[in-house]
Amino acid sequence: MVITLHEENPKKRDIDSIVATLKNGGVIIYPTDTGYAFGCDLFSKKGVEKIIRLKKIDKRKTLSFVCNSFSQISEYADLSNDAHKILKKHLPGPYTFIFKALNSVSKIVCGDKKKVGIRIPKNNIDFALVESLGNPIISSSVNKYVDLLEDNVTPLIDPFEIDKSLGKQVDVIIDCGIIKPEFSTVIDLSTDLVEIIREGKGNIDWFTD
């Protein structure tokens, strides 16, 4: 099922319908500020396992999820005062910050390293979904980083093409128009040593100043 939403003002009726799917263990494809992503309820083992199968993700690896506030992040990640200051300066935005996971995060999400990837994308639809659901949503790009890096595959940017390719494998696709995938900048804040894991859409000039 494809549901068209406007990023500036998503309809509550449609958001509630999508959230009902998430609460039932469903998997969706939704827009972020770095492209379209697979998503499910953070606490849905069924949904998480399905995304792992769809993306062929190594179960030992850390997954990322979308929050909608700094207080919500602190429920799932070990957040130092310095890390909190960094987040306040750069979120919402096209960044994924890596933290040590708290016990509230299941092993299937935090992997063997017991870490989590945290995002607050600059997208009103994402905010509305998390707000209505009451907890974070898993975020895993429909495009593989290595494919775009090596220019092996035409990226999925159009909801029409996404529906043709993946529509039968997910429960809902949110159509928010064409979004060029750029990938988030990944920064590891899990230790005292801040480390840039991947440079992407998010500016890192502040890091080198």
pLDDT tens string 73-129? 999 999 989 999 999 999 999 999 999 999 999 999 998 889 999 999 999 999 999
For residue 153, what pLDDT is reported?
76
Across 118-131, b (16+ Cβ under 10 Å) vs e yields: bbbbebbbbbbbbe
The full set of domains in the chain, from first to last, is 2-208 (3.90.870.10)
For residue 29, what pLDDT is reported?
97
pTM of structure: 0.92
Using CA atoms, how far residue 74 sits from 24, 54, 111, 123, in Å, is 26, 29, 19, 21
pLDDT band at residue 148 under the 50/70/90 scheme: low
For residue 149, what pLDDT is reported?
64
Query: Mean pLDDT over all residues of the chain?
Result: 92
Query: For 91-137, where are the alpha helices, taking DSSP H only?
Result: 107-110, 124-133
Residues 32 and 96: beta-carbon distance below 8 Å: no
Q: Which residues contact 103 (CB under 8 A, 6 or more apart)?
A: none
pLDDT tens string 27-85? 999 999 999 999 999 999 999 999 999 998 887 888 999 999 999 999 999 998 999 99
- Rounded to 5 degrees, φ, ψ at 165 are -85, -40
Starting at the edge strand found earlier in the chain, the sheet holding 95-100 runs 2-4, 172-175, 28-32, 35-39, 137-141, 64-66, 115-119, 95-100, 185-188, 195-198
